Amino acid sequence: MAKKICVLGSNSGRNAGDAAILSSIIHNVQKVAPGTTFEVPVPRKENLTSRFDPAVVRPIPMMPWNLSLRFIGWTTMRSIARCDAALITDGIIFDVKLLNPLFNFLILLSVVVPFAKLVRTPVICFLVGIGPLESKLGKVLARMVCNLCDAIWVRENDSKELLVSVGVPAERIEIFADAAFVAPPAPAKRVDTILVENGLQPG
């Protein structure tokens, strides 16, 4: 039976690196598990519908008129509850402006990860970057979020060391390459479009 995955990341469409990570996750998961579909909370669904097959990637709205404060809301919570797993991606575990949910993701994860455990949806820290974590509360929340995860995969040794320093057991943390490094290349037609948009000659 095909699996369904909720991808929690910084998918605003304004960061090329985050876009590459999402593309890589979708491409590589489908290679090993064909038929897998994805639900991705986003502020603007056109960021996904213009790039991915709607049969494969479903945008989950998370704006105030969807009764949501980014990840905290019925749309994302419902997605997490119906999916087979939730992935925390990108570099969203940090404590800059920690108490501002319009900027910070860690404060949001401190709500949605316990909810995922409540509804028995496995959560994986999937090739994440960690930090900075400079406040006492930020360290406490990062430790709680990561300790509730079913697996913790980080993308460099510094992230592992930081998590260990805040109380996450070292043996639970594995290091793998950044997902952006194995992102699929853009199709030739898309490359030509980008060249034209930037005043360059295709071919």
pTM of the model: 0.87
- The pLDDT tens digits of the residues spanning 66-116 come to 999 999 999 999 999 999 999 999 999 999 999 999 999 999 999 999 999
Total domains, the chain? 1
pLDDT at 120: 98
Q: Does residue 202 form part of some domain? A: no
Looking up residue 26, the CATH number of its domain turns out to be 3.40.50.2000
* Integer Cα distance of 177 and 175 in angstroms: 7
Which residues form the domain of 34? Answer: 4-197
Residue 171: partners with Cβ closer than 8 Å, 6 or more residues away: none
Does a structural domain hold residue 157? yes
Domain membership of residue 125 (yes or no) is yes
Q: Hey, what amino acid is at 68? A: S
Residue range 111-129, pLDDT digits in tens? 999 999 999 999 999 999 9
Structural Rg of the chain based on CA atoms: 17
Query: Could you tell me the end-to-end alpha-carbon distance of the chain, in angstroms, rounded to an integer?
Result: 43
Enter the tokens of residue 174.
């594995």
